[in-house]
Amino acid sequence: MLLIWLIIMGLIFKSWTVWLALAIFYLLSTQPVASLLIRSLERYPVFNPGQTQPVEPQAIVILGGGLPRISPEMSGFRPSMYTLERLRYGAWLSRQAELPVMVSGGGFRPEAAVMAESLERDFGVETRWREAQSTTTRENAVYARAMLPEDIQSVLLVTHGWHMPRAVLSFERAGFYVIPAPGMLADASKDTFRISRWLPSARYLSDSERAFREYAGYLWYWLTYCN
């Protein structure tokens, strides 16, 4: 709808700024540009459970990815799509590494309770700690540090690859040694040229918006942490 509106405005006013905005809007709505922005945030490699780490993790922390959704068919709530992806990966890691698990996420529908229920019901993994106060990534880290025993200094941090830079910054500043375990990394096989990938899509526009939001969030955290 916005794309159509910009085209109409460009035709009516014949303004180069409108056409420039239209071109930017179009590019951000395409798969190659959106993927480039998302992958630029994925700075950490895939975690290998069998590889020896400089510091061995003592616990797994899984970060929530959005408020739980109402689930009438299950008479309760279900994790958001992003949260469910993180839970699935975190559950697999917990079986590989045999480490206790913390789930972190608050809000008016506390994510932690829904996350813990999903971990046990859907993946057969018990949750040791539930941090249900946080509403931001920074608070995830601060409240996790307050809840976890003092002797737990290193954590295996589970979140999406595009969210990991801001999460690592937050947990390191909270006093943890962080071993990043990024999940759901962008598929590089989609880089081959196809005309269809240059067709605008609301999905790819959403990916571009998420990337810009993460960059803005990281910059804000970095500036406020340094002051």
Nearest CA-CA partner of 34 in 43, 26, 44, 22? 26
Residue 166 pLDDT: 97
- Cα end-to-end span (Å), the chain: 42
Q: What are phi and psi of 188, to 5 degrees?
A: -70, -15
Q: By the 8 A CB rule, do 85 and 184 touch?
A: yes
- The mean pLDDT of 36-45, rounded to a whole number, is 94
pTM for this prediction: 0.88
CATH topology of domain 59-183: Rossmann fold (3.40.50)
Residue 127 pLDDT: 97
Locate the domains of the chain by residue range. 2-41+188-226, 59-183
Residue 51 pLDDT: 85
Res. 148: pLDDT tops 80? yes
pLDDT tens by residue, 193-207? 678 788 888 899 999
